[in-house]
Chains A and B, each alone.
Chain A
Amino acid sequence: MKKVMIAAVAAAVTMLASGCGEKQPVTVYKQGQYQGKPDTRPWDNEPFKGDRTAWEKAVKARNGGQNEYARAAN
C-alpha cells in the first residue's frame, strides 16, 4: 500500500512539475515548407521569365536609386 502511495505521489509531482516547463518561443523553419500553397519566386513570371540575374540587376538598380549621394554624383 505504501509503495502504491509513493508511486502515486511521484506521478503527481512529475505531472505538476511538467506544467512549469517552458517551450522556447522560437520559429522552427520546416525547410521552407508551410501548410499553404507554394509561392513562385519573384523572377519566375512574365517580365523576367525565370532569369534570376536580370531580376537581381533590376532590384540592384532600384536599391542604388535610394542613395541620393550616388545619384547627385552622376
Chain B
Amino acid sequence: MARMKFLCDAERCIECNGCVTACKNEHEVPWGVNRRRVVTLNDGLPGEKSISVACMHCSDAPCMAVCPVDCFYKTSEGVVLHDKDLCIGCGYCFYACPFGAPQFPQDGAFGMRGKMDKCTFCAGGPEKDHSADEFKKYGRNRLAEGKLPACAEMCSTKALLGGDSDVIADIYRNRVLKRGKGSEVWGWGTAYGKPEKGATPPAGAKS
C-alpha cells in the first residue's frame, strides 16, 4: 500500500464546512481548536475558490525537523503523528508548518499554550488503539477500524479526498479528464514535493 495523503479539489469544494464539523464531532475536539478548516480565496468575488486545509502529513514534514523534543513520528502508512506526553507546547511546529496545522488549546488562566493538537489522519496516537486514553488525547482511531478520515468520507461533493495516494490521485486525474479543467491541486507540491518512486502525481499538481 502506498502512503496516505489528502487532496482537496478546489473546483468541487462548496465551503459547506462539513469536513470541519465531521472532524470536530468525531474527535470531540475542544473549543478553540480546529484541526481542519476551510479557506476561501477571493471570497465574494466571481471565481472564488475554497479549499479544506489540515495537516497534510507531509513527505518531509518540517514540524518533525524543528521539534526540540522529537515528539513526532511517522507511521509506515506515511501518517505524521505526535506524542502529547513529550510535547512541551513550544510552538516551533506551528511556525514551521506551511499549512498552519498545529493548534494549541489554551491551558491555564493566562493564555498559556497547552500541548499541540493536530489532525491525526484519524489514526490516533501512540496510546493503545481504541483506548480511552487514546481518544482523550488524539481522538478516534478510524484507521485502525479500517476506515478513512471522517472529513474525507463525510465530504458531500467529494472535494476532499483522503487515503492511499495512488488511488486518490487516480480518482482526481479521471475527474480532471472528464471535466476538462481545474487540474490544480493546492498544497500538493508543498506537502509531498517530488513524487515518490512509483507514485504518479495528479495532473497539474500545484504548490
Measured in the bound complex, the distance between the Cα atoms of B61 and A46 in whole Å is 31
User: Once the chains bind, are B86 and A35 in contact (CB under 8 Å)?
Assistant: yes
CB distance from B22 to the nearest CB of A (A): 14
Out of A32, A37, A63, name the residue touching B164 (CB < 8 Å): A63
Contacts of B61-112 to chain A: CB distance below 8 A: 61-62, 64-66, 69-77, 81, 83, 85-86
A59 within 8 A of B: yes
Out of A26, A46, A54, A64, name the residue touching B60 (CB < 8 Å): A26
The residues of A that contact B191 with a CB separation of less than 8 Å are: none
Instruction: Give the size range of B's interface with the partner.
Output: 35 or more
Listed stretches A3-11, A12-20, A65-73; interface member: A65-73
Instruction: Give the size range of A's interface with the partner.
Output: 35 or more
**Contact A63 to B167, CB < 8 A, known contacts A35-B86, A37-B126, A39-B81:** yes
User: Once the chains bind, are A45 and B73 in contact (CB under 8 Å)?
Assistant: no
**Contact A55 to B61, CB < 8 A, known contacts A37-B126, A63-B164:** no
A40 within 8 A of B: yes
User: Once the chains bind, are B60 and A41 in contact (CB under 8 Å)?
Assistant: no
Out of B66, B71, B144, B164, name the residue touching A45 (CB < 8 Å): B144
Measured in the bound complex, the distance between the Cα atoms of B62 and A67 in whole Å is 31
Out of B74, B163, B171, B175, name the residue touching A62 (CB < 8 Å): B163
B15 within 8 A of A: no
Measured in the bound complex, the distance between the Cα atoms of B152 and A60 in whole Å is 14
The residues of B that contact A41 with a CB separation of less than 8 Å are: 75-76
**Contact A47 to B146, CB < 8 A, known contacts A25-B62, A59-B163, A62-B153:** yes
B181 within 8 A of A: no
B37-79 Cβ-contact flags toward A at 8 Å (1 or 0): 0000000000000000000000011101110011111111100
Q: Tally the A-B contacts, defined by beta carbons under 8 Å.
A: 111
CB distance from B60 to the nearest CB of A (A): 6
The residues of B that contact A56 with a CB separation of less than 8 Å are: 1
**Contact A66 to B86, CB < 8 A, known contacts A27-B65, A34-B73:** no
The residues of B that contact A38 with a CB separation of less than 8 Å are: 126
User: Once the chains bind, are B85 and A59 in contact (CB under 8 Å)?
Assistant: no
CB distance from B175 to the nearest CB of A (A): 8
Out of A40, A44, A59, A65, name the residue touching B146 (CB < 8 Å): A59
User: Once the chains bind, are A34 and B71 in contact (CB under 8 Å)?
Assistant: yes
Residues of chain B touching chain A, judged by Cβ–Cβ distance below 8 Å, are 1, 60-62, 64-66, 69-77, 81, 83, 85-86, 123, 125-130, 141, 143-148, 152-153, 158, 161-164, 167-168, 171, 174-175, 178
Nearest 5 Cβ contacts at the A-B interface: A58-B146, A36-B83, A45-B129, A63-B163, A37-B126
